Amino acid sequence: MTSSPRTTRSAAIWTLAGLVLLTLNLRAAITGVPPLLGELQDTFGLTGVEVSVLTTLPELCLGVFSALAPLLARRIGTEAAITAALLVITAGLLLRVVPAQTALFSGTVLAAAGMATGNVLVPAVIKRGFPDRVGPLTGLSMMLLSVGGAAGAGLAVPLDHLGGWRPALAAWAVPALVAALVWGPLALRARTHRPERAAADAAPSADAPSAAAGRPRTPTGTSPDAPSGAAAEQGSLLRSPLAWAVMVFMGMTSLMFYTLTAWLPEIMHDHGFTPATAGMMNSVIIVIGIPLGFVVPVVAARMRDQRPLVLGAVALMAVGLVGLLLAPRAGWVWTAVFGVATGSAFPIALTLLSLRSPDGAVTARLSGMAQSGGYLLAASGPLTFGVLRSVTGGWEASIWLLLLLVVPELVCGLLAARPGFVRPGPPAPDGPEESRPEPAPVSARSTESDRAR
């Protein structure tokens, strides 16, 4: 059997280096803008509405462009799609330094489009290239996402003091370009091996019944009766109830995080905390999530059933929201609870993208569906929360809304965490419902081998 390029040690090391650089570049372009909003508003003469649009654009773009990433990867290859995404991020960051409102907004859209593509393809790279290391590498990716986001926010003001808003916005184009230069050779190499990879993914592995013979073992938390590569490629994930459960769970976890980080400082300030202290609570939530982002995926990948983790994370969110309603003065306690809840739930959701997919191709499609729908769902959270606050004049109705949304988060999370794989439905509208695929025909060679054993 032709050896897959993923088994080459040097390629694995190069891919791992590319993965590290990619994940470091998927947040900084977003988190580096809020600290500079005042200066940008004065420089470009932005109205309050335009500032709101500028801060909302990234989330909307993450939702819209995530759906296109799997299509791009299938057309030109995963490595080439990642290279293109990093180049788009670089171009968007450089475009934002042009002193024109159009350039500022267009550059933000470009950068967010590139980040959306990278977000979707990270789980696919891990699943295909490192199927036995899904947990640790997903955890590493989560941790690096947080580190990159924190660095973007933390370095924005110092860079602004050193050279103004232009270098503060453009500085992250350098690591994005470096990452693109690392992924470029991987894209060229994948292009030469693409026919071999396609054949290896599509063919049943009768010649390789064990990991020792060249086939990776089934990761913990998945099922040994997964559809083969060719079968899994057919049909639409929109017909898979499991795929919908993963998408809604990811959307709800993201909605909780974005809504809390957007409004928690205001809530705490209204209950007697100083603005500096209230703002510090947001930082604590993010800091708590950094180690959990590494630990939780490792634990989840080692479990056959991730439902206990989902139940624990969602229960903590409910406890925090009830506490915020009944005893808002204990703000630091609920901040810690929210940090553990959000810092656990999103890594679980991201890990499920790999654990519920039989191969890297389906992982990319599931990731695109879940992140596209999930980010669009999450983008509605802060806005709806704020509207309720304005209509009612208090925070209680808005917090009760989040408590109600805990219910679909829990239900979909439990459904998504059950062992198994997504099974794309048939493309024909009159096709049968989602079902277990027929076993692959056993070749004569495989039968003779079994008899010999």
Which pLDDT tens digit goes with each residue over 205-236?
Answer: 333 333 333 333 444 444 444 444 444 455 68
Q: Which residues pair with 236 in a beta bridge?
A: 425
Q: pLDDT: is 157 or 448 the higher one?
A: 157
Give the per-residue pLDDT at 51.
79
Give the per-residue pLDDT at 425.
65
Among 82-91, 155-164, 201-210, name the one with the lowest average pLDDT. 201-210
- 3-class DSSP assignment, residue 157: helix
Residue with tokens 């060679």: 445
Distances (CA, A) of 375 to 41, 96, 118, 343, 385: 26, 23, 14, 17, 16
Give the helix ranges, DSSP H, for 203-272.
229-233, 241-270
Q: Are 253 and 246 in contact (CB under 8 A)?
A: no
Output Rg (C-alpha) for the chain, integer angstroms.
Answer: 23
Cβ neighbour number for residue 208 with a 10 Å cutoff: 15
377: Cα within 13 Å, side-chain hemisphere: 22
Q: Are 382 and 84 in contact (CB under 8 A)?
A: no
Q: pLDDT: is 160 or 49 the higher one?
A: 160
Q: Reply yes or no on whether the pLDDT at 34 is more than 50.
A: yes
Give the per-residue pLDDT at 87.
97
Tell me the percentage of the chain whose pLDDT exceeds 90. 38
Give the per-residue pLDDT at 36.
83
Residue-wise pLDDT tens digits, 41-58: 888 998 877 877 787 788
Give the per-residue pLDDT at 363.
85
Q: Reply yes or no on whether the pLDDT at 432 is more than 60.
A: no
Q: Reply yes or no on whether the pLDDT at 38 is more than 70.
A: yes
Could you report how far apart the first and last alpha carbons of the chain are, in Å?
A: 20
Distances (CA, A) of 328 to 322, 325, 332, 406: 9, 6, 9, 19
Nearest to 88 by CA among 3, 9, 179: 179
Reported as a pLDDT band with limits 50, 70 and 90, residue 258 is: confident
Q: pLDDT: is 440 or 359 the higher one?
A: 359
Residue with tokens 């030109």: 76
Give the per-residue pLDDT at 30.
84
DSSP 211: G
Q: Can you tell me the mean pLDDT for 25-47?
A: 85
Q: Can you tell me the mean pLDDT for 165-188?
A: 93
Residue-wise pLDDT tens digits, 111-141: 999 999 999 899 889 988 888 888 889 889 8
Residue-wise pLDDT tens digits, 282-324: 778 888 888 998 899 999 989 989 999 999 999 999 999 999 9
pTM, entire model: 0.70
Q: Which residues contact 330 (CB under 8 A, 6 or more apart)?
A: 323
Q: What is the mean pLDDT of the chain?
A: 81
Q: Reply yes or no on whether the pLDDT at 439 is more than 70.
A: no
Q: pLDDT: is 321 or 360 the higher one?
A: 321
Give the per-residue pLDDT at 431.
40
- 3-class DSSP assignment, residue 149: helix
Tell me the percentage of the chain whose pLDDT exceeds 70. 83
Q: Can you tell me the mean pLDDT for 22-47?
A: 86
Q: Reply yes or no on whether the pLDDT at 369 is more than 50.
A: yes
